[in-house]
Structure 1
Amino acid sequence: MTSVPCGDSAQQPDPADVVCARCGTTAQGPPLTWTCSVEAGVRRYFCAACAREHIRAIEGRLDSEWW
């Protein structure tokens, strides 16, 4: 029987995984349908559903904290 170390990679997201900054959905690599925004020097990704729901705010360049 083998023991599983505390920092098991199965419990931590893969560095290539992208997480939606709004709803927490994860995807492997940035999908083409997702939106990327740089806010205060931080890159944030939004899934297609969140981007579609808040498209007017995104086009108006409002930070995600406002929507």
Structure 2
Amino acid sequence: MQRPARSDAAVVTCALCGSSAESETAPPTWLCSVENGRRQYFCAECARTHIRSIESRLDSAWW
């Protein structure tokens, strides 16, 4: 049984390019980073582009 669509539901958005997942949770291919106590999500394409910086644990401000 499907849940009814909610117009006030939160949408997960990429912190870099602004693309949205249109769901309350990020897809498994997206990355989540906690920077300055705030969660930021990055889509698969942005994550691939910046993977070395992410693995170096640089804040997204440095990318």
TM > 0.5 between the two?
Answer: yes
| Bucket of the pairwise TM-score, normalised by the shorter protein | 0.7 to 0.9
RMSD over aligned Cα, in angstroms?
A: 1.2
The CA distance in 2 between the partners of 1:60 and 1:18, in whole Å, is 24
Counterpart position of 2:3: none
Moved runs in structure 1, 4+ residues, more than 2 A?
none
Please give the TM-score of this superposition, normalised by the length of structure 1: 0.77
Bigger Rg, structure 1 or 2? 1
Alpha-carbon deviation of 1:14? Answer: 2.6
Greater strand share, structure number: 1
Please give the TM-score of this superposition, normalised by the length of structure 2: 0.82
**Unaligned stretches of 5+ residues in structure 1:** 1-8
**Unaligned stretches of 5+ residues in structure 2:** 1-6
1:14 aligns with 2:9: yes
